[in-house]
Amino acid sequence: MTTATYDRFRGNLETYFDRTAAKAWEQLTSDAPVSGIRATVRAGRSEMRDTLLGWLPADMRGLRLLDAGCGTGALAVEAAARGAEVVAIDVAGSLVKIAQDRAPAAAAIDWRVGDMLDPALGSFDHVVAMDSLIHYQAADIVNVLQQLARRTRGSIVFTFAPQTVLLSAMLGMGRLFPRSDRSPAIRPVRDTRLRALINTAMPQARIGRDRRISASFYTSHALEIMPG
């Protein structure tokens, strides 16, 4: 069961990416020239994507993977190239359309528009949620992890926005822009608090690898969980 705040934040994301930022994200996730600030975001996201992929098996034949918040599909395509059966889902239909147009025709990817927590998606060997939970409160993140863990046999790898002085300063600067130009709020979370909540809510789970990437205007923290 989702919470009221999860549903509200999810609605904000759908509105932003479908109506406001689809073109910007299409450019950011391509090879097209971008500004210096966006170039650092692009580089940071690329490094994070490589990190999460590095935590997955090199040979994924016979494995089923959920790309929860697939965006324009780069991670899903790489997982499919390793042999995985991929379900790639995002709340923003515009981004999923871009992903479908870019993906090789032979890629074994089931593209979906909707909620990553939809039980109709079935069960998985691995789940990846790259930068799709950074807009949620810590309690909502843990609620999502609990629900995904019930349908995951192997690992869940995800990212959250770490609470740092630099990130807080950048988010404060963002509030100076007109409301219509702002992306949905990133909600920084303390690493220690998130781990404590996970340990309390998911006592059978084991927290594995972690890595923080800070590339100027991109800051994100990856965490691996084995549901148990």
Q: Are 184 and 161 in contact (CB under 8 A)?
A: no
Give the pLDDT confidence score for residue 166 in this predicted structure: 56
First and final C-alpha spacing in the chain:
21
| DSSP H or E segment with residue 44 | helix 36-54
> CA 48, CA 46: separation in Å to the nearest integer?
5
Residue carrying the six token digits 């972690």: 210
Alpha-helical runs (H) found in 108-225: 138-149, 165-174, 191-201
Nearest to 68 by CA among 131, 150, 10: 131
> CA 15, CA 20: separation in Å to the nearest integer?
7
To the question of pTM greater than 0.85 for the whole model, the response is yes
Give the pLDDT confidence score for residue 165 in this predicted structure: 56
> CA 42, CA 119: separation in Å to the nearest integer?
32
> CA 228, CA 209: separation in Å to the nearest integer?
15
Strands 206-215 and 218-226: antiparallel
Angle at 74 (CA atoms; ends 158, 83), nearest 5 degrees: 85
Q: In the structure encoding, which two tokens stand for residue 204, read together?
A: 């059978």
Give the pLDDT confidence score for residue 171 in this predicted structure: 47
Q: Are 37 and 217 in contact (CB under 8 A)?
A: yes
Nearest to 151 by CA among 129, 173, 125, 185: 125
Q: How many domains does the chain have?
A: 1
Q: In the structure encoding, which two tokens stand for residue 165, read together?
A: 């002085």
Give the pLDDT confidence score for residue 178 in this predicted structure: 39
Alpha-helical runs (H) found in 30-174: 36-54, 74-81, 93-102, 138-149, 165-174
User: Residue 210's domain spans which residues?
Assistant: 4-226
CATH number at residue 69: 3.40.50.150
Distances (CA, A) of 171 to 8, 13, 69, 72, 150: 20, 17, 22, 24, 34
| DSSP H or E segment with residue 50 | helix 36-54
Give the pLDDT confidence score for residue 224 in this predicted structure: 98
Q: In the structure encoding, which two tokens stand for residue 70, read together?
A: 């697939």
pLDDT beneath 70, residues of the chain: 19-20, 165-184
